[in-house]
Amino acid sequence: MSPGLPLSISTKRPSERGKHLHSHDVDDLDEPDYAREGILDIARSRTGWLVVFCVGLLLAAVVVEQFEDVLAHHVELSFFVPLIMGHGGNTGSQSVTTVIRALALKQVSSRDMLRVCLKEAGAGCMMGAVLGLCILAFSWVWSGISLQVGAAVAIALPLVSLWANGLGALLTLLADRLKFDPAVTSVPFMTTIVDSTGLVVYFYVAKLMLASVAPPRAPLRPARPAPTSPASPESLVGRDKPRLCFVGLPLATAKLATGDGVCTDKAALAARLAGAPPPPPPISKADAEFAALGVEFVEARDGIKITELNELFEKVGFPRRDPDRLKVALDNTHRLIWIRSLKQSRVARLGQLLGFARATSDGVLSATIWDVAVSPAWQRSGLGRAMIERLTQTLLADGIGTITLYAEPQVVGLYKKLGFVDDPDGMRGMAFTRKRKEKKSLGGLF
């Protein structure tokens, strides 16, 4: 001990010192002595708060569900969800710790609430801006993330930081004024609120940023068989879904090349192709090229998980099918093709189902293609075209010369490039549906 310095011995108990650190008088609070508290006492005093906070965290799942359509078109947004939630919690926790220390040292009080909240919010905004610029630069060099998504994250981070810092300071000062322990309540309460509201900020910014960006093109999707639940005729094969028939690229090209859309030499072309199946479509991309991308085509039924297939259907807008009926449908399918991932990546797990298509047929004369679906994250990689080319080629190898499908109007042009023509020979597709007849009152008897 240095000479000349007075020796001061404190006679206050630890609990009393803790009370004075929180700027409270000894008579104001009856805080338990931590050294004498048992495990059950500690758990009992904290569990109630944690249950409330856990219920609040469920809001984050609700928020993600509300923006499912945005995530379906821009899957890369999901890559930054942990970053947004973690960043909000981290920067808010820093704010809470800083304000608690300032309260303990009596540098601030609850009367300085407005000044402290504005100060912390400004600091949070600046820190978020720095991190946002780093994310924007990262998206510039990483091909897996579009620049628009990087910009959305860069804008969302300062807003989330501003909100988390300001809220952390506010909750700490309120807890101090209401004589709660801010060390126990402020951080979990702040994290609960920031996790859900931060995601709302992030998804709304992303929605505004990506509104001017065209969504990924729709998958090559024919109409599907009747779903297990009652559906309207428009959900099956309606008048808004043209019937397309595969005639091979020569005939399809001839029809499309005419100015008025009608082939003047149709009779000659039909006579030349009469009695022979249409030529198979060329394979535009070899299997080896897709293998380099980490995907492979499979024609066997083994390995398809009904649950995973239903999940794929839902991602592209198809209705979820009854698992037992879907299994029977697959067993009675003439030909099918599906795509699985060969490696783990940021957009697919190892063995994941990425695409699917099937064809029903009598095995000799005609076949119809159904349920063409490609995972939204892979819709611009040529998987849909590759599946149709391979499935059509297999059906032609079976000796089936008439191959039809029903397509959404917006994807008819895509199928035409593969050798399909709409409404060949003026034939239109029709679907049977049972219409409910309205009961008419006859003289008040019914």
- The residues assigned a catalytic role are 415
Region for residue 145 given its phi and psi (left: phi exceeds 0; alpha: psi -120 to 50; beta: otherwise): beta
Beta strands in 170-249 (DSSP E): 243-246
C-alpha span between 313 and 307 (Å, rounded): 10
C-alpha span between 244 and 225 (Å, rounded): 16
CA-to-CA dists, residue 244 to 67, 247, 323, 356, 390, angstroms: 35, 9, 29, 19, 17
Closest alpha carbon to 317 in 187, 220, 417: 220
C-alpha span between 132 and 67 (Å, rounded): 22
Which residues, at least 6 apart from 349, have a Cβ–Cβ distance to it below 8 Å?
A: 341
C-alpha span between 310 and 318 (Å, rounded): 8
Beta bridge partners of 403: 367
Beta bridge partners of 340: 296, 353
Beta bridge partners of 357: 337
Dihedral, CA atoms, 148, 87, 189, 62, nearest 10 degrees?
A: 30
**Residue with the two structure tokens 């708060």:** 49
Residue type, 388: I
Torsion angles phi and psi, residue 427, rounded to 5: -80, 140
Dump the DSSP string for 106-129.
TS--GGGHHHHHHHHHHHHHHHHH
